[in-house]
Amino acid sequence: MVVSNTVEVQTTNDRASEVKAFDDTKAGVKGLVDDGITEVPRMFHQPPDKFEKTSVPGETQFSIPVIDLEGVKQNPATRKEIVDKVLNASKKWGFFQVINHGVPVSILEEMKDRVCRFFQLDVEVKKQFYTRDNVKSVVHNCNFDLLTALSANWRDSIYCDMAPNPPKPEELPEPFRDIVVEYSDQIMSLGYLLFELMSEALGLNPDHLLKMDCAKGLGVLSHYYPACPQPELTLGSSKHTDGDFLTVLLQDHIGGLQVLHENQWIDIPPTPGALVVNIGDLLQLISNDMFISSEHRVLANSIGPRVSVASFFVTNFQPNRRLYCPIKELLSEDNPAKYREITVMDYITHYNEKGLDGTSTLQKFRI
């Protein structure tokens, strides 16, 4: 069935056959590009409504907040100003960028370079990490929801579970084996600071979110977006929210990341040395909607490859029996709990089963 001049929707059987044949190659999107394709396969075609560009009246211009962390540990007055900025950004945007965050630029650059090296390995070398078993500590594949999604995204990925139980060094891919450990340590330190600032922004003690084990788990997900011959037909990443407490994103110079703010897609421009921070669904849940987990997406691009590294603060499939619900100190008669008690495993299982289908994962857990 043809729904527009350019986008064609497959029957379920046709799509299943194409997806299986593609996945069996274990070569990912990069394999298609290396083969010299000039047209995007139908399984990657997004429905036309996925590209609708909405705007607010008057074409109001927005830009994502940028927060300078310089002096946050030394100057109480500066820290108070930063906490106020974190509060405003977390309530209104769910996204902000941080500069002077303490992670050396040399480590940021090396992490991006080494991730790129992994994806440029011979496919026979990468195949040893290619799997559909999301419980493994190292998972390489193309689209975690490839087998169930209506349309695939134009990207390949590798995920490493770095805390609380990291893989053995020999289990990590050689190109970024050393740097991902160092990078994770740096991001974990930054995460501790961010959770302190967010606790204070919520009017709680600085260690409140840390005592709730919000920083107990850390997963590092690296994406590789090859240049796309027809970027108008597909997406690098469909509209979604993040299934964690907090995400810290390292992106390269190419761009394409957008956040949905007041019904308008806003670019998050690459800023040298900066890191992007966004609120995850689980932090929205425990803050009882005081902080928002905003929908975002990545556009496909004729220029590439684009590389990004997302660090998710969540225990994912690792054992964690702790129950999470809205923080009682934030509740009142006028602000009752909006979510029921859940475990991280409850949430992650539903998130993965649902995939990036553009709907809210949190809705299932609302009271």
Q: How do residues 73-111 score in pLDDT, each as one tens digit?
A: 999 999 999 999 999 999 999 999 999 999 999 999 999
What's the pLDDT band for 356 if we cut at 50, 70, 90? Answer: confident
Q: Are 275 and 250 in contact (CB under 8 A)?
A: yes
User: Taking the CB of residue 52, how many other CB atoms lie within 10 A of it?
Assistant: 8
What's the pLDDT band for 7 if we cut at 50, 70, 90? Answer: very low
Token pair 């040399």 is found at 106
pLDDT tops 90 at residue 358: no
The candidate with the shortest Cα–Cα distance to 30, out of 133, 108, 142, 128, is 142
Amino acid at site 60: T
What order do you get walking across the sheet with 138-141 strand by strand? 66-68, 95-99, 275-279, 246-251, 306-313, 218-225, 156-163, 138-141
pLDDT tops 90 at residue 49: no
What's the pLDDT band for 191 if we cut at 50, 70, 90? Answer: very high
What's the pLDDT band for 51 if we cut at 50, 70, 90? Answer: low
Q: How do residues 317-351 score in pLDDT, each as one tens digit?
A: 777 889 999 999 999 999 999 999 999 999 999 98
> Is pTM, for the whole model, over 0.95?
no
Query: For residue 6, what pLDDT is reported?
Result: 45
- Supply the mean pLDDT for the chain: 93
As given in the structure block, the two tokens for residue 349 are 């299982």
Q: Are 155 and 236 in contact (CB under 8 A)?
A: yes
User: CA–CA separation, 339 vs 110, rounded Å?
Assistant: 41
Instruction: Calculate what percentage of the chain has a pLDDT beyond 70.
Output: 94
Cα dihedral 162→168→173→174 (10° resolution):
120
As given in the structure block, the two tokens for residue 52 are 């609708």
In sequence order, which residues have a C-beta less than 8 Å from that of residue 77 and are 6 or more positions away? Answer: none
As given in the structure block, the two tokens for residue 269 are 């421009």
